[in-house]
Amino acid sequence: MRKFLITGIPPYSSGGTVQLLQYLHPFSENYEIVCEKEWSYNLGHRHLPQNIIAKFKDAHNVIYNQQLDGIRDSEIILFHPQTIGFDIFLKLIENNKIVKIYILDNSFFCIKSYNYKRSSDLNECLDCLNNLDNCHAECVPFPIKYNKADNIKYLKRFKELSNKIIFYVQNEKNAVLLKKHFGNNTKYKIVGMKTNEFDNIYNENLNIGNKVEHPDIVYHGWHKAAKGVLYVLELAKYLKDYSFLIPCNKGAVINNYGKIDIPNNVEFKHITWETGLKENVINCKLVLCPSLWTATIEGALVKSILYNGNVAVYNTKYGFQSEFPENCLLRLNDDYDDSSNKIKHFIKNNHTYSIKSKEWIIKYLNEFDPKIIFNDVNMNTAELKENNSISNKIDIYQSCERNFKIIKELLDITEKEINSLSHRIVRKVKNICKKMLKSESLIKKIILYFYKSKK
């Protein structure tokens, strides 16, 4: 049986999912990897006319979807359904024998992926858990802007198919949510999470930049309310004697949430882990990782513990932070007076959770065994029913034939337009056309294979 690892997140992008996939790669040698790639990225899209970029994207989407549509009667592992595409994601579940899904967020019951809404009074939102018709008017699909009704329809169909799926979850509380939504008979395994960036920390110098003045408190998160950025801005008003660093673009926060009252003790600085955030995390008095959604294992929390140890979190019922033992994390809540007093007391009295929190998270990370995800699973005969009917093969053949014509038409149009481009990018366009044509030839082979089967 052929095996595939499928993700919609391209390998050149950034973020924790990419780092996780890189970590898993050596263990997936028996799997063919299928992932999304944007041709415009490789083309140097800033130098290309938008109409040509659009045509390459259209052609690529046809190739990518055709490749996924041809994966049938196989074992598949799926990552991040939002970027794979809902329609093809459901087809992959329906058309394959063994289906595994690694849960990265809460998109299995929440169209926002991060189950938090600003009207929920700083509480994780579980309204759609096992009741998808409860979706609020303010909620919109994220990170992909799907039609809202289609997104909810997809989640309902996903739930109907869940008895065919083996879920791999990061932590115990996430497994609780999974069972609450899909039912107690849901097949799942708790496997944890780890990336390469956590492995060699003790070989690093963790005292960098001590001679430079650093902020007292650093927010380690994204510019989204679900991650806690608005909570931190409000909390800073109660802690005027302490300096705060928010490593985000101030404009991005304002664009997302409108006019915001920003205290004078808060500095916005658009920096990444590599360009200054790491140094500030190491040298500050307290790191804030106050995710308000039911967070799975977040890289920001793990790195903050490993590189500092004194970390404050927002206390949610089902978030990963709730699994830590006592005196590992400073727990904040929706009472700003109480939370700010906890921070003042912690800093003034030179408390530290550093040793205990590091010991716990290192032990947790070391329990992650990627081989579990890729191990063979025993499914019953009914679940492994063959799907090799002639009608199924004809369906694939017709789909391939139709899409092949679309690709050829798009490429022909694009090649005609090459003459209007400047010489410095003609070579790039021609190279990408060659790559496209190679993909076309693969599809042609599929067509010929199924044509013979049809005969």
The whole-number pLDDT of residue 424 equals 64
Q: Which amino acid is at 228?
A: G
* pLDDT tens track for 137-195: 999 999 999 999 999 999 999 999 999 999 999 999 999 999 999 999 999 999 999 98
The whole-number pLDDT of residue 388 equals 46
Structure tokens, 31: 């799997």
The whole-number pLDDT of residue 308 equals 95
DSSP 8-state class, residue 66: H
Cα–Cα distance measured from residue 288 to residue 245, given in angstroms and rounded to the nearest whole number: 10
* pLDDT tens track for 326-348: 999 999 999 999 999 999 999 99
Spatial strand order in the sheet of 75-79 = 32-35, 3-7, 75-79, 98-102, 165-169, 187-190
Q: Is 220 in contact with 304 (CB distance < 8 Å)? A: yes
The whole-number pLDDT of residue 376 equals 74
The whole-number pLDDT of residue 322 equals 97
Q: Extract the residue ranges of the chain whose pLDDT is less than 50.
A: 39-41, 43, 380-389, 454-455
Partnered with residue 311 across adjacent β-strands are 287
C-alpha closest to that of 155 among 96, 97, 115, 95: 115
**Which domains are seen in the chain, by residue range?**
3-193+372-385 (3.40.50), 197-366 (3.40.50.2000)
The whole-number pLDDT of residue 381 equals 38
Q: Is 92 in contact with 6 (CB distance < 8 Å)? A: yes
The whole-number pLDDT of residue 316 equals 97
Length of the chain: 455
Q: Is 195 in contact with 365 (CB distance < 8 Å)? A: no
